Amino acid sequence: MRDEEEEEEEELNQKAVLEQVFGHSSDDEDDNDDEMFDSDSDCDIAYKLEQVFGPSSDEDDGSGDRSDSDSDYDNFYNLDKTYNCEWECISEVKGLWMLRNFLSISQQSRLLSSIESEKWFTEPSINQAMRFGFKNLPYWAISLSFSIRHCSSFSKYQLPPNLMQREPIFDQMITNVYQPGEGICPHIDLLRFEDAIAIVSLESSCVMHFTTETQRVPVLLTPGSLILMFGDARYVWKHEINRKPGFQMWNGELLNQSKRTSITLRKLSPSPSS
């Protein structure tokens, strides 16, 4: 019982700090409350997030396992580091970028624990959770959004300028859990969402195919990776994941398939009347 009370108190403290960073949340549906940042500098924001997720370690190279104890729990997204902000441009698909080491192993574990604590997927029949409105996003989804913006500033490629400027950067989230054999059919995301869509992959690796009527480009999504779809990649190319037996191939080898979790972040387009 005491552990549950301590966990609840810790979560409330985390949300309180994030409100200082990203603005106060409200249960009222007021579009004017959707601003993401106040006048704090990046250093102030990083400091406040450090209060939530703990100080980052200068000795961590992001490549190995780290202890999950509270005493050495690093800053969740290493906001003061740039080693994990090395973007890849998928040249075959215009407007598609990848950050392969977006999250370290320890960060992935923390994020999965946060998702599990939401208790969205307690029933086998439930495999998707959606949240609309910036104020309704979980604190960890807000932190992901901030980290994507942070890493975008370190790209040697010309990433979407509106991704750096729009407020909030994302205000809609989908979390999906896929069991072996489950995937997504070829599709283009609805036009009700703005340009620049982010997908974070966790657990099982998989191959996502980007297709047009004449082209088919495979992209390997590894645990902890991030992809950004902008322009043609978002509006022209369909994307799909076929995880039926025998379809998940990479470099001539069959990929082992286990449970996969993905987080998709998008920004709703303003209504015509707004």
Residue type, 131: R
| Cα distance between residue 40 and residue 47, in whole Å | 10
Residue 26 binned pLDDT confidence (cut-offs 50, 70, 90): very low
Residue 167 scores a pLDDT above 50: yes
Identify whether the C-beta of residue 227 lies closer than 8 Å to the C-beta of residue 98.
yes
What are the contacts of 36-40 at 24+ separation with CB within 8 A? 36/134, 36/145, 36/167, 36/168, 36/169, 37/167
As a whole number, mean pLDDT of residues 19-36 equals 38
Q: What is the pLDDT of residue 158?
A: 72
Q: What is the pLDDT of residue 6?
A: 55
Residue 59 binned pLDDT confidence (cut-offs 50, 70, 90): very low
**CA 178 remoteness from chain centre:** 16
pTM of the model: 0.71
CA-based nearest residue to 200, from 182, 218, 173, 181: 173
Residue 36 scores a pLDDT above 60: no
**Yes or no: domain 82-266 corresponds to CATH 2.60.120.590:** yes
- Please report, for the chain, the start and end positions of each structural domain, with discontinuous segments joined by +: 82-266
Residue type, 221: L
Q: What is the pLDDT of residue 141?
A: 95
SS3 174: strand
Identify whether the C-beta of residue 129 lies closer than 8 Å to the C-beta of residue 137.
no
| Cα distance between residue 175 and residue 115, in whole Å | 9
